[in-house]
A and B are shown apart, each in its own frame.
Chain A
Amino acid sequence: MLRILCFVVATVVSSMTFADVSAVYGFDDRSEEQRYQNLIAELRCPKCQNQNIADSNSPISKDMRNAVYQMMLEGASDQEIVDSLVGRFGEFVKYKPDLDSRTFMLWATPAIAVLGGLIVVAGIVVRSRRTGTAAPTLSAEEQARIDKMLAEKNRNGSA
């Protein structure tokens, strides 16, 4: 009996996965960890040559990552965290531009371009129906010339 018990205990213990390491910035929840990763990927290092604070080794990026972490622990939302950093460093540190009167043209560009293009194409199709001919027709003389040329070509090809 004892042997069976030992066996069961041993099996159970050995099938437990190793206790996992903590993230450099540790969270209880994997989804919180993911949220942290997403946030720091969207914030820009104010000093570097175009890097987000996730990939940058500069001291200011470290400070910013720390700030993001602390604010997440305090329960701040994504918007609150970003706003807090923008309030200090300016909107330069946000990789996703706001949608406001200044950036309207930016966000609207793809829609305008595609819609504009579709309208042009529709116009071409409609106009072609009105003015276009289904297929060019040849006069009898042109047809005869073509027949001769094709015959000539076939003769040369087989020679």
Chain B
Amino acid sequence: MKRFLLFLPLLAAIIVGVVLFAGIGKDPTKLDSALIGKPVPAFSLRDLKQPETTLDEAVFRGEITLLNVWGTWCPSCRDEHDDLMWLAREKKVSIIGLNYKDNRDDALVWLDRLGDPYSKVIYDPKGTLGFDLGVYGAPETFVIDASGVVRYRHVGVVNGDVWERVLLPVINDARENG
């Protein structure tokens, strides 16, 4: 019995080792969204391109969309922009933009120069919708299903690999399970 007790520290060390090994390579700064399974929070903000129009959460109902949080101040957003254009054109993905803590004129110039992958862009200069969505750094991309419920949030740039591995499976799942 006593000899068995002496093996316990070894056992504990093995368990800790396995947990530590699993942790290597994971990025501790990528957090899951707290809104998964919940509808997009209510909001009332102007459309970026048509300032007289007001948009609300109903804009997400009807089809599965990506909600892309971006700003002209964010260098990574510039990096992913071309991939977003590809997604919109080639993959026919419906992307709604959230212009987060930005200047309207700068944003319009940006879209003009670089192309506009968005069906609509919500103008959120104070970041209130971003805050309610739990956005903590751009770029972030949400997958929202046809009933306006958040299915997934990706932190960081979207590229071909992210699309294939991460976003597409969620979209397919949303299609099957409404």
Contacts and interface: CB of A to CB of B under 8 A. Distances in A.
Q: Do chains A and B touch in the complex (CB under 8 A)?
A: yes
Interface of A: 46-47, 59-60, 63, 67, 86-92
Interface residues on B, range: 10 to 19
Interface of B: 29, 31-35, 101, 127, 131-134, 136-137
5 pairs of A and B residues whose beta carbons are closest in the complex = A90-B34, A46-B136, A88-B134, A60-B136, A89-B134
Nearest to B130: A63
Contacts of A60: 136-137
A9 to B, nearest CB: 49
A92 B131 CA distance: 15
Given A88-B132, A90-B134, A63 B127 contact: yes
B126 to A, nearest CB: 9
Given A46-B31, A90-B134, 13 more contacts: A46-B136, A47-B29, A47-B136, A60-B137, A63-B127, A86-B34, A88-B34, A88-B132, A89-B34, A90-B31, A90-B32, A90-B33, A91-B34
Contacts of A88: 34-35, 131-134
6 contacts: A46-B134, A47-B137, A60-B136, A60-B137, A63-B127, A87-B34
